[in-house]
Amino acid sequence: MNVVEFKAPAPLRSEFYFYGRHYVEPTKPLRVLIATSIRDVGVDDNVGKQIMIDGRPTYMRGVLESLLMASGEGGPFRDQFQVAGVAVDDVQGQDRLDDYTALPQQDRQWIVPFGTTYNGQPLKEIVHSHPSLFRKIAGNPALKADEKKRFETGLVELAKKLDADVILSDHFMLRFELTQQLMPTINIHPAVTNPDNPACCRGKTPTKDILERAARDGSTRTGAALHFVNAEFDDGVIIADTDRVVVKNDWDKNRLRLEVYNQAKIPVVQLGLSHLREHFDYLYKLSQRPPASEPRALSL
Protein backbone atom coordinates (compact mmCIF):
# COMPACT_ATOMS: atom_id res chain seq x y z
CA MET A 1 0.00 0.00 0.00
CA ASN A 2 1.25 3.48 -0.85
CA VAL A 3 1.04 6.25 1.72
CA VAL A 4 2.21 9.46 0.03
CA GLU A 5 1.58 12.48 2.20
CA PHE A 6 0.53 15.74 0.58
CA LYS A 7 1.42 18.95 2.40
CA ALA A 8 -2.01 20.57 2.51
CA PRO A 9 -2.57 24.13 3.79
CA ALA A 10 -2.42 24.43 7.57
CA PRO A 11 -6.18 24.95 8.20
CA LEU A 12 -6.98 21.67 6.44
CA ARG A 13 -4.20 19.74 8.13
CA SER A 14 -5.56 20.16 11.65
CA GLU A 15 -6.03 16.51 12.63
CA PHE A 16 -6.72 15.49 9.02
CA TYR A 17 -4.16 14.00 6.63
CA PHE A 18 -4.21 14.16 2.84
CA TYR A 19 -2.25 11.98 0.44
CA GLY A 20 -1.10 12.53 -3.12
CA ARG A 21 0.65 15.12 -5.23
CA HIS A 22 0.72 16.59 -8.75
CA TYR A 23 -2.06 19.13 -8.31
CA VAL A 24 -4.11 19.75 -11.45
CA GLU A 25 -6.58 22.63 -11.74
CA PRO A 26 -9.97 20.89 -12.05
CA THR A 27 -12.42 22.08 -14.70
CA LYS A 28 -15.62 20.73 -13.16
CA PRO A 29 -16.99 19.21 -9.95
CA LEU A 30 -16.18 15.56 -9.27
CA ARG A 31 -19.32 13.49 -9.90
CA VAL A 32 -19.85 10.64 -7.43
CA LEU A 33 -22.15 7.61 -7.55
CA ILE A 34 -22.73 6.45 -3.97
CA ALA A 35 -23.25 2.70 -3.54
CA THR A 36 -24.83 1.73 -0.23
CA SER A 37 -26.60 -1.08 1.63
CA ILE A 38 -29.51 -0.12 3.87
CA ARG A 39 -29.15 -3.37 5.82
CA ASP A 40 -25.87 -2.01 7.17
CA VAL A 41 -25.83 1.79 7.09
CA GLY A 42 -29.45 1.79 8.27
CA VAL A 43 -30.12 -1.32 10.35
CA ASP A 44 -26.67 -1.50 11.99
CA ASP A 45 -25.70 2.19 12.17
CA ASN A 46 -29.21 3.66 12.70
CA VAL A 47 -28.54 6.38 10.15
CA GLY A 48 -31.55 8.65 9.64
CA LYS A 49 -32.90 7.94 13.14
CA GLN A 50 -32.95 9.48 16.58
CA ILE A 51 -30.76 7.39 18.88
CA MET A 52 -30.23 7.66 22.63
CA ILE A 53 -26.86 9.13 23.66
CA ASP A 54 -26.32 9.74 27.38
CA GLY A 55 -30.07 9.55 27.87
CA ARG A 56 -30.87 12.13 25.19
CA PRO A 57 -32.27 11.56 21.68
CA THR A 58 -29.68 12.49 19.06
CA TYR A 59 -30.09 12.40 15.29
CA MET A 60 -27.68 10.11 13.44
CA ARG A 61 -26.84 11.88 10.18
CA GLY A 62 -24.98 9.71 7.68
CA VAL A 63 -22.51 10.27 4.88
CA LEU A 64 -25.13 10.47 2.12
CA GLU A 65 -27.27 13.12 3.80
CA SER A 66 -24.18 15.14 4.66
CA LEU A 67 -22.87 15.01 1.09
CA LEU A 68 -26.25 16.10 -0.26
CA MET A 69 -26.26 19.06 2.12
CA ALA A 70 -22.63 19.97 1.45
CA SER A 71 -22.88 19.87 -2.35
CA GLY A 72 -26.48 21.03 -2.87
CA GLU A 73 -27.71 24.55 -3.44
CA GLY A 74 -25.73 26.90 -1.23
CA GLY A 75 -23.50 24.08 0.05
CA PRO A 76 -19.81 24.82 0.72
CA PHE A 77 -18.62 22.00 -1.60
CA ARG A 78 -21.12 22.60 -4.43
CA ASP A 79 -18.40 23.53 -6.93
CA GLN A 80 -16.08 20.72 -5.85
CA PHE A 81 -18.21 17.57 -6.03
CA GLN A 82 -21.73 16.49 -6.92
CA VAL A 83 -23.76 13.39 -6.08
CA ALA A 84 -24.54 11.87 -9.48
CA GLY A 85 -26.85 9.29 -7.90
CA VAL A 86 -27.26 6.63 -5.24
CA ALA A 87 -27.28 2.85 -5.91
CA VAL A 88 -28.96 0.62 -3.30
CA ASP A 89 -28.32 -3.13 -3.50
CA ASP A 90 -30.84 -4.37 -0.89
CA VAL A 91 -33.62 -6.74 -1.94
CA GLN A 92 -36.94 -5.58 -0.50
CA GLY A 93 -38.83 -8.44 1.14
CA GLN A 94 -35.76 -10.69 1.29
CA ASP A 95 -33.13 -8.73 3.20
CA ARG A 96 -33.51 -7.91 6.89
CA LEU A 97 -34.25 -4.19 6.84
CA ASP A 98 -36.23 -3.87 10.11
CA ASP A 99 -38.32 -0.71 9.76
CA TYR A 100 -36.28 0.68 6.85
CA THR A 101 -37.30 0.39 3.22
CA ALA A 102 -34.78 -0.39 0.48
CA LEU A 103 -35.76 2.76 -1.43
CA PRO A 104 -37.11 6.03 -0.01
CA GLN A 105 -40.89 6.03 0.49
CA GLN A 106 -43.29 8.58 1.91
CA ASP A 107 -43.87 8.13 5.67
CA ARG A 108 -41.35 5.27 5.90
CA GLN A 109 -37.95 5.10 7.56
CA TRP A 110 -34.92 5.64 5.32
CA ILE A 111 -31.34 6.86 5.78
CA VAL A 112 -32.22 10.35 4.52
CA PRO A 113 -35.52 12.16 5.21
CA PHE A 114 -37.98 11.54 2.36
CA GLY A 115 -38.65 15.24 1.81
CA THR A 116 -35.00 15.97 1.01
CA THR A 117 -34.34 17.55 -2.38
CA TYR A 118 -31.02 17.81 -4.18
CA ASN A 119 -30.43 20.61 -6.65
CA GLY A 120 -34.16 20.72 -7.34
CA GLN A 121 -34.64 16.96 -7.62
CA PRO A 122 -36.73 14.95 -5.13
CA LEU A 123 -34.70 12.36 -3.21
CA LYS A 124 -36.45 9.41 -4.86
CA GLU A 125 -35.35 10.63 -8.30
CA ILE A 126 -31.64 10.24 -7.55
CA VAL A 127 -31.86 6.86 -5.76
CA HIS A 128 -31.64 3.73 -7.95
CA SER A 129 -32.35 0.11 -7.11
CA HIS A 130 -29.48 -2.17 -8.13
CA PRO A 131 -30.32 -5.38 -6.23
CA SER A 132 -27.52 -7.86 -5.56
CA LEU A 133 -29.63 -10.90 -6.41
CA PHE A 134 -26.56 -13.11 -6.78
CA ARG A 135 -26.39 -13.24 -2.96
CA LYS A 136 -29.56 -15.36 -2.99
CA ILE A 137 -28.11 -18.03 -5.29
CA ALA A 138 -27.20 -21.24 -3.46
CA GLY A 139 -25.66 -24.50 -4.64
CA ASN A 140 -24.30 -23.20 -7.95
CA PRO A 141 -20.98 -21.35 -7.47
CA ALA A 142 -20.41 -20.82 -11.20
CA LEU A 143 -23.83 -19.23 -11.69
CA LYS A 144 -23.34 -17.08 -8.59
CA ALA A 145 -19.96 -15.88 -9.87
CA ASP A 146 -21.43 -15.02 -13.27
CA GLU A 147 -24.28 -13.09 -11.66
CA LYS A 148 -21.82 -11.25 -9.42
CA LYS A 149 -19.85 -10.13 -12.50
CA ARG A 150 -23.09 -9.04 -14.16
CA PHE A 151 -24.02 -7.09 -11.04
CA GLU A 152 -20.68 -5.28 -10.88
CA THR A 153 -20.70 -4.54 -14.61
CA GLY A 154 -24.22 -3.16 -14.24
CA LEU A 155 -23.12 -0.89 -11.40
CA VAL A 156 -20.40 0.57 -13.61
CA GLU A 157 -22.91 1.00 -16.45
CA LEU A 158 -25.22 2.90 -14.10
CA ALA A 159 -22.34 5.12 -12.99
CA LYS A 160 -21.44 5.93 -16.59
CA LYS A 161 -25.08 6.57 -17.49
CA LEU A 162 -25.20 9.12 -14.68
CA ASP A 163 -21.92 10.67 -15.88
CA ALA A 164 -20.15 9.77 -12.64
CA ASP A 165 -16.37 10.01 -12.36
CA VAL A 166 -16.04 7.69 -9.38
CA ILE A 167 -18.03 5.15 -7.35
CA LEU A 168 -18.03 5.69 -3.57
CA SER A 169 -18.83 2.72 -1.33
CA ASP A 170 -20.65 3.83 1.81
CA HIS A 171 -21.25 0.65 3.84
CA PHE A 172 -21.73 -1.28 0.58
CA MET A 173 -21.93 -4.83 1.93
CA LEU A 174 -20.20 -6.51 -1.01
CA ARG A 175 -16.60 -7.20 -1.90
CA PHE A 176 -15.72 -5.57 -5.21
CA GLU A 177 -13.80 -7.85 -7.55
CA LEU A 178 -14.39 -6.30 -10.97
CA THR A 179 -15.78 -2.80 -10.40
CA GLN A 180 -12.46 -1.15 -9.51
CA GLN A 181 -10.91 -2.56 -12.71
CA LEU A 182 -13.57 -0.85 -14.82
CA MET A 183 -13.95 2.48 -13.01
CA PRO A 184 -12.31 4.42 -10.17
CA THR A 185 -13.84 3.03 -6.96
CA ILE A 186 -13.28 4.34 -3.44
CA ASN A 187 -14.45 3.40 0.04
CA ILE A 188 -15.07 5.23 3.31
CA HIS A 189 -13.86 3.01 6.13
CA PRO A 190 -15.04 3.86 9.68
CA ALA A 191 -11.54 3.52 11.15
CA VAL A 192 -7.89 4.07 10.18
CA THR A 193 -6.48 1.84 7.43
CA ASN A 194 -2.86 3.07 7.40
CA PRO A 195 -0.81 0.20 8.92
CA ASP A 196 1.84 2.68 10.06
CA ASN A 197 -0.68 4.34 12.39
CA PRO A 198 -1.13 2.71 15.84
CA ALA A 199 -4.87 3.38 15.51
CA CYS A 200 -5.11 1.21 12.38
CA CYS A 201 -8.18 -1.04 12.47
CA ARG A 202 -9.00 -2.82 9.22
CA GLY A 203 -11.60 -5.51 8.68
CA LYS A 204 -15.34 -6.03 8.82
CA THR A 205 -15.94 -5.30 12.52
CA PRO A 206 -14.20 -1.99 13.34
CA THR A 207 -16.86 -0.87 15.84
CA LYS A 208 -16.55 -4.06 17.87
CA ASP A 209 -12.75 -4.08 17.61
CA ILE A 210 -12.35 -0.45 18.69
CA LEU A 211 -14.67 -0.88 21.67
CA GLU A 212 -12.63 -3.92 22.74
CA ARG A 213 -9.41 -1.90 22.48
CA ALA A 214 -10.90 0.91 24.59
CA ALA A 215 -12.10 -1.57 27.24
CA ARG A 216 -8.68 -3.22 27.36
CA ASP A 217 -6.54 -0.07 27.34
CA GLY A 218 -8.81 2.39 29.15
CA SER A 219 -9.18 4.46 25.97
CA THR A 220 -8.03 4.37 22.37
CA ARG A 221 -8.02 6.43 19.18
CA THR A 222 -9.90 5.87 15.97
CA GLY A 223 -11.14 7.81 12.96
CA ALA A 224 -11.88 7.15 9.31
CA ALA A 225 -10.15 6.72 5.96
CA LEU A 226 -11.17 7.47 2.39
CA HIS A 227 -9.22 5.11 0.16
CA PHE A 228 -9.25 3.44 -3.24
CA VAL A 229 -10.54 -0.10 -3.49
CA ASN A 230 -8.06 -2.76 -4.56
CA ALA A 231 -7.86 -6.55 -4.41
CA GLU A 232 -7.04 -6.57 -0.70
CA PHE A 233 -9.52 -5.70 2.03
CA ASP A 234 -9.10 -2.08 3.29
CA ASP A 235 -5.66 -1.89 1.68
CA GLY A 236 -6.10 0.60 -1.18
CA VAL A 237 -4.21 3.87 -1.69
CA ILE A 238 -5.37 6.41 0.91
CA ILE A 239 -6.87 9.73 -0.19
CA ALA A 240 -7.48 11.25 3.24
CA ASP A 241 -7.75 10.03 6.82
CA THR A 242 -7.84 11.07 10.47
CA ASP A 243 -7.33 9.44 13.87
CA ARG A 244 -8.82 12.34 15.84
CA VAL A 245 -11.56 10.44 17.72
CA VAL A 246 -10.58 9.61 21.31
CA VAL A 247 -12.68 6.65 22.44
CA LYS A 248 -13.45 6.19 26.14
CA ASN A 249 -13.87 2.79 27.74
CA ASP A 250 -17.48 3.48 28.80
CA TRP A 251 -18.77 4.23 25.30
CA ASP A 252 -21.34 1.95 23.71
CA LYS A 253 -21.61 1.28 19.98
CA ASN A 254 -24.11 4.10 19.40
CA ARG A 255 -21.82 6.69 21.02
CA LEU A 256 -18.82 5.40 19.08
CA ARG A 257 -20.63 5.46 15.76
CA LEU A 258 -22.01 8.95 16.37
CA GLU A 259 -18.58 10.36 17.20
CA VAL A 260 -16.93 8.60 14.25
CA TYR A 261 -19.55 9.94 11.85
CA ASN A 262 -19.40 13.51 13.15
CA GLN A 263 -15.69 13.86 13.87
CA ALA A 264 -14.21 11.59 11.21
CA LYS A 265 -16.26 9.97 8.46
CA ILE A 266 -18.26 12.98 7.32
CA PRO A 267 -15.40 15.51 7.25
CA VAL A 268 -12.97 12.97 5.76
CA VAL A 269 -15.39 12.23 2.90
CA GLN A 270 -16.09 15.89 2.20
CA LEU A 271 -12.48 17.05 2.41
CA GLY A 272 -11.23 13.86 0.75
CA LEU A 273 -13.49 14.20 -2.29
CA SER A 274 -12.37 17.80 -2.68
CA HIS A 275 -8.74 16.70 -2.45
CA LEU A 276 -9.27 13.79 -4.85
CA ARG A 277 -10.68 16.17 -7.45
CA GLU A 278 -7.42 18.12 -7.40
CA HIS A 279 -5.09 15.09 -7.47
CA PHE A 280 -7.29 12.59 -9.30
CA ASP A 281 -5.02 11.40 -12.11
CA TYR A 282 -2.03 10.84 -9.86
CA LEU A 283 -3.92 9.01 -7.11
CA TYR A 284 -5.94 6.86 -9.49
CA LYS A 285 -2.88 5.80 -11.48
CA LEU A 286 -1.10 5.04 -8.22
CA SER A 287 -4.02 2.86 -7.10
CA GLN A 288 -3.74 0.77 -10.27
CA ARG A 289 -0.13 -0.30 -9.69
CA PRO A 290 0.57 -3.86 -8.55
CA PRO A 291 1.12 -3.87 -4.75
CA ALA A 292 4.73 -5.04 -5.07
CA SER A 293 5.66 -1.90 -7.05
CA GLU A 294 4.31 0.52 -4.43
CA PRO A 295 6.67 1.96 -1.78
CA ARG A 296 5.58 1.26 1.77
CA ALA A 297 5.55 4.90 2.78
CA LEU A 298 6.87 8.14 1.35
CA SER A 299 6.58 11.50 3.07
CA LEU A 300 6.88 14.45 0.72
Q: In sequence order, which residues have a C-beta less than 8 Å from that of residue 183 and are 6 or more positions away?
A: 156, 159, 160, 164, 166, 167
Tell me the per-residue pLDDT of 108-131, one tens digit each, with 9 for 90 and over: 999 999 999 999 999 999 999 999
Give pTM, 2 decimals.
0.91
Backbone angles phi, psi at 219, to 5 degrees: -170, 170
Contact 258, 58 (CB under 8 A): yes
Tell me the per-residue pLDDT of 182-205, one tens digit each, with 9 for 90 and over: 999 999 999 999 999 999 999 889
pLDDT of residue 228: 96
Q: In sequence order, which residues have a C-beta less than 8 Å from that of residue 68 and are 6 or more positions away?
A: 83, 112, 116, 118
Strands (E), 235-289: 238-248
* CA pair distance 137, 122, nearest whole angstrom: 34
pLDDT of residue 233: 85
pLDDT of residue 187: 97
pLDDT of residue 290: 66
Q: Which residues of the chain have pLDDT under 70?
A: 1-14, 290-300
pLDDT of residue 288: 86
* CA pair distance 73, 137, nearest whole angstrom: 43
Q: Supply the DSSP symbol for 237.
A: P
